Structure 1
């Protein structure tokens, strides 16, 4: 399932170069990732009830085009592959002209919340990967 959210670039997200600070793109993607979890029926509290958490272990991001104050951006999230204890989500950010602003692959790992060690993906999460 592919999901997307829309945001408007705020003044606090702009750096001295007059465009969105690179770290903010990671926040945008995190917001979209949380929306993806919610839309798949796996919000934070469901994982907690299973005794499982997800942690980000790697991000490979490409900055393609600058975004500026007031622009409306669409951030999408979709599952692309899974392993035994990890999975990869793809994010894309587009501007109002449908130009790719940034894209990333984010690798997450599922962990046992008490032991703080990796565990196999719960079947509820694994089911969302082809």
Structure 2
């Protein structure tokens, strides 16, 4: 399942170069990831009930085009691949003109909340990677 959210670039997200600060793109992607989990029926509290959580292990981001104040951006999230305890979500950010602003692959790991160690993906999450 691919999901997307719409955002508008705010003044607090602009750096001294007059465009969106690089760290803000990670926040945009995090907001989109949260939306993806919710639409997949896997909000944070569902993981907690299973005694599990998800942590980000790696992010590879490509900054393609600058975004500026007031621009409306579309941030999408979709599952790419899964392993035993890890999985990859892909993000793309487009501007109003349909130009790719940034894209990234984010590696997440499912952990046992008490042991703080990786565990196999729960079935409900693994299903999200089936075609």
TM bucket, shorter chain: over 0.9
1:92 corresponding residue in structure 2:
92
Distance 1:85 1:42 in 2: 16
1:28 corresponding residue in structure 2:
28
2:73 corresponding residue in structure 1:
73
Q: How many residues align?
A: 130
Distance 2:113 2:129 in 1: 23
Deviations 1:3-60 (A, max 9, x none): 0000000000000000000000000000000000000000000000000000000000
Report the secondary structure of 1:79's partner residue: strand
1:37-48 superposed matches below 5 A:
37-48=37-48
TM-score w.r.t. length of structure 2? 0.99
1:46-125 superposed matches below 5 A:
46-125=46-125
Unaligned 5+ residue runs, structure 2? none
Deviations 1:68-118 (A, max 9, x none): 000000000000000000000000000000000000000000000000000
Report the secondary structure of 2:117's partner residue: coil
Unaligned 5+ residue runs, structure 1? none
TM-score w.r.t. length of structure 1? 1.00
RMSD after superposition:
0.3
Runs of 4+ in 1 over 3 A off after TM superposition: none
Distance 1:37 1:17 in 2: 33
